[in-house]
Structure 1
Amino acid sequence: MRRAMSSAESALPPPSPLAVPVLMGVVFLSLIGFGVVIPLLPFYAVVFSATAWQVTLMFAVFAAGQFFGELIWGRLSDRIGRKPVILGTILMAALGYVALAYAPNIWFAVAARAVAGVFSGNISTIQGYIVDVTPPEKLAGRLGLIGSAFGIGFVVGPLLGGLLARPELGAAGFQPPLLTAAALCLAGAAGAAVFVRESRGRAAAGAQRPGPLQALAQTLRDPTLRRLMGGTFLSFAGFSAMWSIFGLWGAAEYGWDPKMIGFVMALTGVAAATSQGVLAGWAVQKIGERPTVLIGLTVTAVFLFLEALGPPVTVAIILMIVLVIGHTTSQPATSSLISRAAPAGRQGETLGANNASSAAARVLGPVMAGFLFSGVGTWAPFVLAGVLILPAAVLIGLGGRR
């Protein structure tokens, strides 16, 4: 449901035609920050003498930071506008990369990732901007384009981490890819400052809005949103469990080095970008949002179970590409369902609550995966991921309608 435009917002200048492409670039940079670390994880373990659970903790605390960031920034952008929130969070994320580049030990690295996570929790603000400036009939396609930026970032981030890392230099070998990511963030902030025009006016002075946790509780009281967010939570708990051990799994099972890990992740990133930029919008037009989610997440779960069987390396790479396509195809349809179910004037807050749900899942998933990887076997996190994603397909894809 498209929200009514206030008189303050109707007085705003029309959005720049370059605003959406620039914001896609900002999302791309956010995913570089996520992906650049994955090829480095096995070598954080070596350089800092860290265990598997400590390495996956870097994923978990980043997601914990995003949980609070999504609750704060989406709601704040509803009140003060999208642009200042987008600019401030990008600049602080750049500082997070610099701090991680100079981490002297694993616990400093964990702390740096936690702080960086808070300022990377700005995706709901960007989604809120897209909702503000997009007609309802084009919303799923636009959100799919934003999702394709995730995929492209997933190509460049791991490649950047794998190609620029110098593990033979110890901790200093992590600095080139991380400092490059910080520089790219600064470029993204400059682009947003020039090309992104504010899409909504400030809320009236003294307007009473619930606090972040109250807003989350208020959102969860809606049965439709509760079901959609529950599906989001399970889906991302499973998917993040798999990604958090991906570098460790590749090194342990197939002897992959950072360059090979980055290469395989680049392949999955190309698949993700294609599925979200092309396949997701096409699927929604042809079969609808809920069937798209049901099919996509079911395919993901089945291929995760097949990956757990320990196939030959070529088959393992193909399975990884297909399961990523399934998951990423479902995401724009889910976001579209949530944005249309959101109360008028609270799209940023509601999308923030949903992204906070996925961030909370990315805390739980990596923690469980780290313990399973160390204590049960390299295959166990894949089974966990499939078991979590199957009910997500049912909750979102077969759930009742308003």
Structure 2
Amino acid sequence: MTEYKPLPWRQLLIICICRFSEPICFTIIFPYVVFLVRDFGIPEERAGYSVGWIASSFALAQFCTGIPWGMLSDRIGRRPVILFGMTGTMISIFLFGLSKSFAWAIISRALCGVLNGNNGVLKSMIAELTIDVSEADRAQAFALLPFMFGLGSVIGPVLGGFLADPVKNYPTVFGNLGWITEFLTTYRYFLPSFIASCICFCGWIFGMLFLEETLMGKRPQDKKKKQDEEQRLLSQGEANYSTFPNGKKHSPTCSPTPTIHESERKPTFREAITQPVILASTAFGCIALHGVFYDELYSLWLSTSRNNGGMGFISKEIGASLAVAGFMTLIVQLFIWPRLAGKFGILRLFQLCLPCFAAVDFLQGFVRYLYHVPNFNGVYETKQWVWVGLIACLILKTICSTIAFTSMMVIVSDSSPRMDTLGAVNGFSQCVSSGCRAIGPAICGILWDYSNHATWIPKKVRPHVSFGVLSMLALITFAASLRIKPSHRYPKVVDLVDEEQEETTTRI
């Protein structure tokens, strides 16, 4: 019977702290980015297009750097890459708060994607930390990353929605602060970005002080073992030299058994990216495209005026609704996903949630008709039933989204052919998902603007075109998932080295 180790909760907690700040920096702009774009002088009918490019710039940059960051972490270790990525996030979100032009917003957002490849590297760390634990504990550990993303997704939109334009929204607090008031009047969306940058800095401090390396060969115990091996070989060499007089050297008939560090050969990128990795990464890219398409469409749909097919919500209302979705993510991660994963299996559960995703996507566009349903006082054109329908759709969507993303994280890591290719595999999957995230917001913005102003489309149908495309995308993802087969967990580097040593001994 296999004996499993307990979860390394101390290191998992530090990873969670490092992860927590990044979704805050990512989601904090959602409630006000449409209004920021309008401040640039871009008209409402073109706002969706511009917002899409701001969101796409981040993912497009990660598409270009995901694989290099992953492969670099396979060489120099996970810890330095993660700390550098957090530094990049901290600087870029600070610069985003100083945006006064569309170009500045895109460049600062893209800078975050260039300097941060932590998503894939953190997955590699958890995979390495949980190699000797049970499947149930491993699933629980992998669920921590989306759990922290959900927690950050609760706090981020709340901060963004309530701290945006503080002089206007809170004149009694920020209206008489001298140069601070003038600065916050000029840069109306700086305060939430500054707070996000400070949160990221706190996470960086924790990582610098407490985060430990997990890459085999770079861990402190591995370095000590290597030094002990070198000292032992040096001592043996001196002893062998002293047994042969007159300076004669001993020529052994065979090479000694190689050590782990001598035998370890880093696999090439082509060796790491096998067919199972490609299939899993493709499905991950599809679900990433769906997720970012929905997020972009949701903000556009709520912030657009009702005359143009939207819901007419303000930034505070958008932030509050996104906070509900983030809170629901926490509930799903803690109580729903682990039980369903144990009952159905991770791959099967992923496949089951996708048709439900498609149904929710299709139905959400009809929430706008709840404006025509009277409230309890018989008054029409209120948001009472609109909020009920919106929250119901958000809850169902969040359940499906959380299950899909968490399942794909485990599926991608399990597709890795061996342990020391985790960085390359997760970097590749991150590259694929980032490429999909790069085109998703742009496609969504263009589709939303075009469908809502296309005269050949009936006016009542126009707001539903984007939701229909989103529903079809969920079904395409379901079709792609059917090609994935359950994979066995990758072997450790030590196991591969042991096999090589056995083959060497047999040949000798």
State the TM-score, normalizing by the size of structure 1: 0.89
Q: CA deviation at 1:310?
A: 4.1
Specify the alignment match of 1:235 in structure 2. Answer: 287
Specify the alignment match of 2:161 in structure 1. Answer: 162
The Cα offsets for residues 98-135 of structure 1, whole Å up to 9 and x where unpaired, read as 11111220111011101112233311111111111112
Structure 1 15/224 Cα, relative in aligned 2: closer, same or farther at 3 Å?
closer
Does 372-381 or 201-210 show the bigger shift?
201-210
Are residues 1:259 and 2:316 paired?
yes
Are residues 1:325 and 2:399 paired?
yes
Q: CA deviation at 1:303?
A: 0.1
1:93 and 1:120 in contact (8 A); partners too: yes
1:74 and 1:348 in contact (8 A); partners too: yes
Specify the alignment match of 1:400 in structure 2. Answer: 485
Does 262-271 or 159-168 show the bigger shift?
159-168
1:228 and 1:395 in contact (8 A); partners too: no
Cα distance in structure 1, aligned partners of 2:285 and 2:478: 11
Cα distance in structure 1, aligned partners of 2:430 and 2:91: 22
Matched to 1:356, the amino acid is C
Specify the alignment match of 1:91 in structure 2. Answer: 87
1:30 and 1:120 in contact (8 A); partners too: no
Any stretches of 5+ residues in structure 1 without a counterpart?
1-13
Does 315-324 or 82-91 show the bigger shift?
315-324
Are residues 1:191 and 2:265 paired?
no
Cα distance in structure 2, aligned partners of 1:350 and 1:74: 8
Matched to 1:394, the amino acid is A
In the alignment, which of 102, 109, 115 is matched to residue 111 of structure 2? 115
Specify the alignment match of 1:350 in structure 2. Answer: 425
Specify the alignment match of 2:296 in structure 1. Answer: 244
After superposition, the CA RMSD in angstroms is: 2.3
Cα distance in structure 2, aligned partners of 1:245 and 1:371: 11
Higher normalized helix content (fraction of residues): 1
Q: CA deviation at 1:22?
A: 2.0
Matched to 2:211, the amino acid is V
Q: What SS is found at the alignment partner of 2:32?
A: helix
Structure 1 171/358 Cα, relative in aligned 2: closer, same or farther at 3 Å?
farther
What are the within-5 Å matches in structure 2 for residues 3-402 of structure 1? 17-50=9-42, 51=46, 52-134=48-130, 135=133, 137=135, 138-166=137-165, 168=168, 172-200=187-215, 201-202=217-218, 210=268, 215=269, 222-252=274-304, 253-311=310-368, 312=370, 313=386, 314-344=388-418, 345-377=420-452, 378-396=463-481, 399-401=484-486
2:153 and 2:322 in contact (8 A); partners too: yes
Specify the alignment match of 2:373 in structure 1. Answer: none
Matched to 2:11, the amino acid is A
Does 327-336 or 309-318 show the bigger shift?
309-318
Matched to 1:117, the amino acid is G
Structure 1 171/225 Cα, relative in aligned 2: closer, same or farther at 3 Å?
farther
Cα distance in structure 2, aligned partners of 1:390 and 1:271: 24
Does 175-184 or 384-393 show the bigger shift?
384-393
Q: What is the identity percentage for the equivalent residue pairs of Structure 1 and Structure 2?
A: 23
Specify the alignment match of 1:9 in structure 2. Answer: none
1:219 and 1:353 in contact (8 A); partners too: no
Cα distance in structure 2, aligned partners of 1:24 and 1:288: 25
Cα distance in structure 1, aligned partners of 2:31 and 2:144: 26
Matched to 1:319, the amino acid is C
Matched to 1:104, the amino acid is K
Q: CA deviation at 1:398?
A: 6.0
1:130 and 1:143 in contact (8 A); partners too: yes
Q: What SS is found at the alignment partner of 1:296?
A: helix
Q: Which has the higher contact order (CA 8 A, sep 6+)?
A: 1
State the TM-score, normalizing by the size of structure 2: 0.71
Pair member with larger Rg: 2
Matched to 1:45, the amino acid is V
Cα distance in structure 2, aligned partners of 1:139 and 1:396: 22
Q: CA deviation at 1:397?
A: 5.1
